Amino acid sequence: MSATWADAPTWLRRSLVALVVLVLLTPVFALAAGAVGYAEPLENVAEATGATEHERTLLSSPFPDYSVAGTGTVVGTLVSGLVGTAVTLLVAVGLGRLLDRDVDT
């Protein structure tokens, strides 16, 4: 990942542009999901069988529910999208590096 933008293969540059586009779309979808009242099937089952009251949060996360304290849906989602996408990229590349074939030796 030490290569510069111009040295990167075309597919990689295009992929990174696509990532930015996806992140920019996240606030739009967050607003739309909020408008219809977002609920996943698992939440509906938990509701139906009374498991909801057992739900606990054991670890406080920096961006709970993809939001940023003190900001609205648009900014919170956008920041979460940017941070999450970047951190996932770094985690996966780090993992890949650990398993990388040692080409030089």
Partner 1 sequence: MHIPDGFLDPWVLAGCFVLAAAAIGFSSWRLNGRLDDARVPLLGVVSAGIFAAQMLNWPIPGGTSAHFVGGAFAAILLGPYLGCLAMASVVVVQAFVFGDGGVLALGANLLNMAVVDVFVGYALFRALVGLGETIAAFVAGWGAITVSAAAVGLQAGLSSTFAYDLATTLTVMTAGHAVLGLVEGLITVLVVRYLLDVRPDLVLGLTGPNTGGDRPEEATV
**x/- map, 50-89, partner 1, by CB under 8 A:** xx--xxxxxxxxxxxxx----------x--xx-xxxxxxx
For 52, 78, 82, 86, 104, the CA distances from 56, given in Å and listed in that order, are 9, 26, 27, 28, 49
Sort 30 into a burial class: Cβ within 10 Å, 0-12 / 13-18 / 19+. Answer: buried
Determine the 3-state secondary structure of 33 from DSSP. helix
> Using the rule CB under 8 A, which residue among 49, 69, 70, 105 binds partner 1?
49
How far is residue 38's CA from residue 40's CA, in Å, rounded to a whole number? 7
Among 2, 4, 69, 102, binds partner 1 (CB under 8 A): 102
Cβ closest to partner 1, residue 70 vs residue 96: 96
Interacting residue ranges for partner 1, rule: CB under 8 A: 1, 8, 11-12, 15-16, 18-19, 22-23, 25-26, 29-30, 32-33, 35-42, 44-46, 48-51, 54-66, 77, 80-81, 83-93, 95-97, 99-103
